[in-house]
Amino acid sequence: MKHKIITTICLLSLLISSESLRILVCYPMTSKSHSILGYGVVNRLLEAGHEVVHITSFPNGKVLPNLTEVNVSSIADVFKKDVDGAEAFKLKNLIGKGNFGDSALFLYYVYVIHKNFLEEPSVVKLFSDPKEKFDAVVLEWFFTEMNAGIPALFDCPLIWVCSTEPHWQSMRVMDGITNPAYTLDLFTHNKLPLDFWGRAEGLWKVVKKAVQVLILNQFEKRAYYSIYPEIAAKRGVTMPSYEEAVYNGSFMLINAHPSIGGAIKLPQNSANIAGYHIDKAKPLPKDLQKLMDEAEHGVIYFSMGSIVQSDGMSEQMQKSILDMFSKYNQTVIWKFESDMKDDIPPNVHLVKWAPQQSILAHPNLKLFITHGGRLSTSEAIHYGVPLVGIPVMADQVLNMISVANKGFGIKVTLSEDMVPELDAAVQQVLTDDAYRKKAKEISALFHDRVMTPGAAVPYWIEYVVRTRGAPHLRSPALNVPLYQKLYLDLAAFLVVVIIILKKAVKYLMKKKTNKKEKSN
């Protein structure tokens, strides 16, 4: 009994002595899926007893202890007012247009969003207040480093959160450019191992995007030096250079895991945390619970995500998919965001909003037809659900290539006449139990970790604060310029030495020849 009392006192003393941190979390991207990832970080920190100030485009408006929300939804107004821009993201207008994420326009879009974020009045007010103090700043890395100056304002460590698979653009701020011979570009249609042309394409993508990034950096630098100094002056701090801020990240949390993506080598100050946003599945609404419980042949769930939605399909595509579903024995739950004109088959149930995690957790779910987004694929594998994917843009193609390679799903090419291919894929996954078995097998790997992803978030953030930025984990590669990494200086030196030696040999040979001629 005495030992139990002593143990309890020790545990309580540890809890009391553990310092509650004040963390700034910034997820400005005007996308619902990105905000879900942001709330994943916030919720894990709140659960660990920390105070959080959350800057988001999707505030939930709930009053929670230790949470302050800063609403920056206005930064998307420039795009909402653009009718052509809104139409461009409708599914029917994206067919055959290539991958939007692989374009310079995409990088400019991200730049505008983040510049608007830094100039948003509520953000400027928060950052300018010298009374505001933070122990760490958590920023979403999403194809820009404009936010990298924020931690310098508060003299605290920077922790990046990468929302996608690790790739050369994200990892260059922590370590260096990964080798394109065995590391896939985020927007590729290739799979490993790469053949000759695949490696050529990978190298070309790096070169092309490196040029785009260099151009974009000029805009970012201009914004950095025009926005931050004025705010810094109000706080009485001096800003580092743009380059110093960009490469000053203490840690990167990555929304990935080898079980669903690739086994990409990471520097010491990076960690895979895919699944950290997934909470315990909540009870389904009564109507959906009844529907799924009573589905004699099981349920198929269909959703195209939150950015490119199902109601953006052409009427012909909608009708052809409905005709396909009408022939199935399974009950179909289709996330369709508006009212549909066509007659709905009795086995199809349209919902404008779907509690996706709760649907995926139901034991009667047989298949998830998805767009292949990072959240959807990780949630599906968390619950061990096989997939049929119809990728539209960004990293969705790569995600579904990985799913297909690992054997727990099939990728279908988006097109107006895709129904025959889609139908064949659905029938294949439903009738071949190998897909479900593989999904369960990969799910077990996904869960088999030293630390749960939810626990890893506060652990690494606390670790960075505790070690004052974890400088001992930083990669030495950040201090080596590219020309030295490629040994260009050594190559130049060897070229010069070879030239000198050749000239010296030529001179000696000529001198020897002259001597012979004289002696003769």
Residue 99 has what pLDDT? 65
Query: Residues 17-46: what's their mean pLDDT?
Result: 89
> What pLDDT is stored for residue 117 in this prediction?
92
In this prediction, residue 18 has a pLDDT band, given cuts at 50, 70 and 90, of low
In this model, does residue 516 exceed pLDDT 90?
A: no
Question: What's the whole-number average pLDDT of the chain?
Answer: 86
CA nearest to 88, candidates 103, 74, 68: 103
Residue 210 makes CB contacts below 8 A (sequence gap 6+) with: none
Regarding the domain delimited by 286-447, which CATH topology (the fold level of the hierarchy) does it fall under? Rossmann fold (3.40.50)
Compute the distance between CA of residue 377 and CA of residue 76 in angstroms, rounded to an integer. 27
- What's the pLDDT tens digit per position in 310-331? 777 888 888 999 999 999 999 9
- 153, 127 contact by CB (below 8 A): yes
Indicate the CATH number for domain 19-278+452-479. Answer: 3.40.50.2000
Calpha distance 37→361 (Å, rounded): 19
pTM, rounded to two decimals: 0.86
Which of 150-154, 279-283, 310-314, 334-338 shows the lowest per-residue confidence on average (mean pLDDT)? 310-314
Nearest alpha carbon to residue 101 among 27, 29, 37: 29
Band of residue 81 on the pLDDT scale cut at 50, 70, 90: low
Percent of the chain with pLDDT over 70: 91
As annotated, the residues of the chain forming the CATH 3.40.50.2000 domain(s) are 19-278+452-479, 286-447
**How do residues 466-509 score in pLDDT, each as one tens digit?**
999 999 999 888 888 878 888 888 899 999 999 999 988 888 88
Could you tell me if 134 and 140 are in contact, meaning their C-beta atoms sit under 8 angstroms apart? no
Better-scored residue on pLDDT, 163 or 80: 163
Count CA atoms within 13 Å of residue 162 on its CB side.
Answer: 26
User: In this predicted model, what pLDDT tens digit does every residue of 377-422 receive, in sequence order?
Assistant: 999 999 999 999 999 887 888 889 989 999 999 999 988 889 999 9
What single letter denotes the amino acid at residue 481? P
Question: From the CB of residue 103, how many other CB atoms can be counted at a distance below 10 Å?
Answer: 15
With beta carbons less than 8 A apart as the criterion, state whether 132 and 240 touch.
Answer: no
Task: Give the Cα separation of 384 and 319 in Å (integer).
Answer: 30
**Which pLDDT tens digit goes with each residue over 94-128?**
666 666 666 777 888 888 889 999 999 999 999 99
* Distance separating alpha carbons of residues 116 and 75, to the nearest angstrom: 5
pLDDT per position as a tens digit, 418-443: 999 999 999 999 999 999 999 999 99
Whole-number Å distance between alpha carbons of 185 and 178: 10
